[in-house]
Amino acid sequence: MFDFREYLRMEMFPHMLCPGCGHGIVLGALLRAIHSLKLTKDEIVVVSGIGCSSRLAGYVDFNTLHTTHGRPLAFATGIKLARPELTVIVITGDGDGLSIGGNHLIHAARRNVGLTCLLLNNQIYGMTGGQFAPTTQIGRVSTTSPKGQYETPFDSCKLAEAAGASFVARGITYEPSALEKLIVAAIENKGFSFLEVASDCPEFFGRFNKLGNPADQILMQKQNVVDVEAAAALPAERLRGKMLTGILHHEPRPEYGAVYAESVA
Amino acid sequence: MEPNGTQNVLIVGVGGQGVILASDILGVVCMNRGYQVKKSEVHGMAKRGGVVYSHVRYGAQVLSPTIEPGTSDVLLAFEPAEALRWSKYVKPGGTIIVNSRKRIPPAACQDRRMDAPTRYPQGIEQALRGQVGDVRQFDAEELAVEIGDHRMCNTVLLGALSSVCEFELQDWLGAIAASVKPKTVERNQKAFLAGRNAQFAAMRDSLPSEKCEMSRSVTCLDAPEIAIHDSWCKGCEICVVVCPQACLKMNERNRAEVVKAEACIRCMLCEWMCPDLAVRVQ
């Protein structure tokens, strides 16, 4: 019987995330995915940057590395090149991965380094008090956009795909079972796997935007997404303003570490 | 306080309590009386319950904006532990005004079982009295709630501060009217007077008995089907909402509780969607 507690650093719990924070749901899905892949604790490295999402690395009993803001992918690339047999999972947030670490993201994707990048997108900088992030949707209120955000947000999946990631997918915390399967697929892909997870920040995003309590907010996710397979059959106007979930792009190509090893052999 | 030389007032508290606004109002009062005022503060730490402080210095001529340890005339603390943290700034013979309402930070209550001790410091009032003779402690938040809004706590404390400053009542009321939102002026002034009168009445009460603000217990770890780790649950209510069988409900302590374990169909949603990993379906 699966018990997620065997993968946790129990002395660190309860974790520091706010009540209703979606990141904990992603953590649970990640542990179940790792369990179903039958990976041992020592085979896994979890690398994270700075931010609420990046705190997750501190709660899991694998090899973990909590790195500088925006740079987890750079550290993870080094780990993967030195120890290609390890499964390297990067947990980053939308601010960490797309703003300050945006350049690392596109180059890790371009090189197709064998990493799994989980980008937890809650549309806000939660840890520093709710400043808008590069993924905050237009019109959303934050501490730095009191009259509503007016900058066009990133579609991080399109960004990763265009940059060359061999696996791109999007999950939501409302569908934890589907999310678990996406994480499994992302880890199984040999090259750079990019998985965006739409998460909630009830404290700084939900509260400022009057989205109700954490439960209201997570139920609301359902209205904003369409599965990519279902979307193929739907007319364009039904898809307006919706996010696509599922595996958006999967095109295996040579992994960076393997190519590098060959070139120096 | 005698208006010779530079007067130092240190205002400290926990993020979100209104330290900055209170020190701004004090600054306006001083300026309206023709003093030079300098102010130095840390802000923005508020969002996760961090320490917020504001140094206010006023006089005929103020040189540095920061107060040296051991030279502050008054320490206005919005929170007992913050008073203790900053008490070394108070000069001998200075005054400490403390709000007795505690803000126990999350880091001090990692052990969230029922009756688990917090790591919040004990015996603060005695420790303060040991350092500075003049310690005036009262529950400002209670007064603020009586007026109708706990957020007025900072104005109540400002009222208490006014009892040891030489400014006229009208100066204070005018500065409040100029600094707060128009629709809250009246209530703020009322809160200010409540704090001021409480001090003038020399109301001193001791620290309230250690109240466990987050009540805790491990209730159903051994329940046959659904186990909720009570001390991990943060009460977000997601499991209660997603359960298709209504097996769970929120209890009076705002924790999830199993009420109908026999109806469980093992859909696992409560376990999978618990952000705190507090639910296990066995």
pLDDT tens profile B217-263: 333 333 446 888 888 999 999 999 998 888 899 999 889 999 888 88
Q: Among A19-28, A108-117, A197-206, B158-167, name the one with the lowest average pLDDT.
A: B158-167
pLDDT at A186: 96
List the single residue in B110, B232, B238 with the smallest CB-CB distance to A214: B238
Percentage, residues of chain B above pLDDT 90? 43
Cis amide prior to B80 (ω within 30 degrees): no
Which ipTM score applies to this complex?
A: 0.91
Q: Among B42-46, B102-106, B135-139, name the one with the lowest average pLDDT.
A: B42-46
Phi, psi of B147 (to 5 degrees): -75, -20
Cis amide prior to A214 (ω within 30 degrees): no
| pLDDT (average), residues A161-173 | 95
List the single residue in A13, A14, A218 with the smallest CB-CB distance to B238: A218
Q: Among A249-253, B11-15, B199-203, name the one with the lowest average pLDDT.
A: B199-203
pLDDT at A33: 95
Contact map slice: B 229-268 vs A, CB within 8 A: 231-232, 234-238, 240-242, 268
Q: So what's the architecture of B226-281 in CATH?
A: 2-Layer Sandwich (3.30)
Q: How high is the mean pLDDT of chain B?
A: 83
Phi, psi of B223 (to 5 degrees): -60, 145
Number of Cβ pairs closer than 8 Å across A and B? Answer: 81
- Tokens for A65? 């590395």
| pLDDT (average), residues B261-272 | 85
Place of tokens 């009295």: B129
Q: Does the pLDDT of residue A75 top 90, yes or no?
A: yes
Q: Among A70-79, A252-261, B194-203, name the one with the lowest average pLDDT.
A: B194-203
CA-based torsion, A211, A213, A219, A222: positive or negative = positive
- B130-161 pLDDT, tens digit each: 888 788 888 999 989 988 888 899 999 999 99
Place of tokens 């909720």: B228
**Domain B7-200 -> CATH class:** alpha beta
List the Cα angle A218/A68/A4 in 5-degree steps.
45
Which of A115-119, B240-244, B262-266 holds the top average pLDDT? A115-119
Looking at chain B, the domain(s) classified CATH 3.40.920.10 span 7-200
Helix (H) / strand (E) element for B177: namely helix B169-179
**Domain A18-264 -> CATH class:** alpha beta
Neighbouring residues of A56: CB distance < 8 A, sequence distance ≥ 6: A23, A26, A27, A30, A46, A48, A91
Q: Residue B90 to residues A126, B96, B100, B128: CA-CA distances in angstroms?
A: 36, 8, 18, 10
Confidence of residue B47 (pLDDT cuts 50, 70, 90): low
CA distance A89 to B266: 30
Return the SS3 of A86. Answer: coil
pLDDT at A46: 97
Q: If we measure between CA atoms, which residue out of A45, A84, A74 comes closest to residue A261?
A: A84
Q: Does the pLDDT of residue B210 top 60, yes or no?
A: no
Q: Does the pLDDT of residue B198 top 90, yes or no?
A: no
pLDDT at B221: 36
List the Cα angle B115/B14/B182 in 5-degree steps.
125
Q: Which residue of B has its CA nearest to A32?
A: B272
Place of tokens 């915390």: A173
- Residues belonging to chain B: 282
- Residues belonging to chain A: 265
- Tokens for A35? 């369990």
Confidence of residue B114 (pLDDT cuts 50, 70, 90): confident
- A193-216 pLDDT, tens digit each: 999 999 999 999 999 999 999 999
pLDDT at B224: 43
List the single residue in A19, A28, A128 with the smallest CB-CB distance to B234: A19
pLDDT at A183: 96
From chain B, the residues in CB contact with A178 under 8 A are none
Confidence of residue B202 (pLDDT cuts 50, 70, 90): low
Neighbouring residues of A245: CB distance < 8 A, sequence distance ≥ 6: A169, A170, A171, A172, A175, A178, A198, A225, A226, A227, A228
- Tokens for B18? 């209104």
Return the SS3 of B136. Answer: strand
Q: Does the pLDDT of residue A265 top 90, yes or no?
A: no
Q: How high is the mean pLDDT of chain A?
A: 93
Q: Which residue of A has its CA nearest to B254?
A: A19
pLDDT at A138: 93
- A27-53 burial, b for 16+ CB within 10 Å, e for fewer? bbbbbbbbeeeebeeeebbbbbbbbbb
